[in-house]
């Protein structure tokens, strides 16, 4: 008997737990690879990624993939907080797709950042000296 594919396992998870779309799990898996690669390039070694590091990497990956629509896409998939990333990670751990250390806990994903700040702020206009209000002309 062959092992189930990633897609089959995700379909089973989504059938049992309807909080998150299947695409959210695909994004999470790709985002983990993105995060591991970024850490490896920075530190020159392979190591376990913490919950906080993964949440931050997923933020960066979402911004890279979806730009100003990142928060909208994630919300559409049922992901509205960094805790949701943790919930998904632990569903994947339970399914045998992800591993964890004894120190890893779901609380590692709590309040890593605020979604509105993380996904909207980078796209707000920046107030520069050239855009500041001009002085009004004086009338004589």
pLDDT at residue number 131: 58
Is residue 44 included in any domain, yes or no?
Answer: yes
Q: What is the DSSP string of 71-127?
A: HHHHHHTT--SHHHHHHHHHHHHHTTSS---TT--GGGGTTSS-HHHHHHGGGSPPP
The answer to whether position 1 is within a domain reads: no
> What distances in angstroms separate CA 41 from CA 30, 37, 44, 51, 100, one per listed residue?
17, 6, 5, 19, 22
Residue 138 has pLDDT above 90, yes or no: no
Q: Number of structural domains, the chain?
A: 1
Helix (H, G, I), strand (E, B) or coil at 13: helix
- On whether residue 140 sits in a domain, the answer given is no
70 in a structural domain: yes
Percentage of the chain modeled with pLDDT above 90: 79
Owning domain of residue 16: 6-131
Give the pLDDT mean for 99-125. Answer: 95
Residue 138 lies in a domain: no
């Amino acid at each position: 008997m062959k092992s189930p594919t990633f897609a089959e396992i995700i379909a089973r998870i989504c059938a049992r737990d309807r909080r998150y779309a299947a695409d959210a799990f695909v994004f999470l898996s790709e985002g983990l690879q993105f995060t591991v690669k970024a850490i490896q390039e920075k530190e020159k070694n392979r190591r376990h990624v913490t919950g906080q590091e993964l949440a931050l990497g997923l933020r960066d990956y979402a911004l890279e993939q979806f730009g100003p629509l990142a928060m909208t896409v994630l919300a559409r998939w049922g992901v509205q907080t960094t805790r949701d990333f943790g919930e998904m990670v632990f569903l994947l751990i339970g399914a045998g797709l992800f591993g964890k250390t004894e120190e890893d806990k779901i609380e590692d994903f709590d309040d890593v950042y605020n979604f509105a700040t993380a996904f909207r702020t980078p796209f707000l206009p920046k107030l520069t000296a050239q855009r500041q209000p001009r002085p009004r002309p004086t009338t004589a």
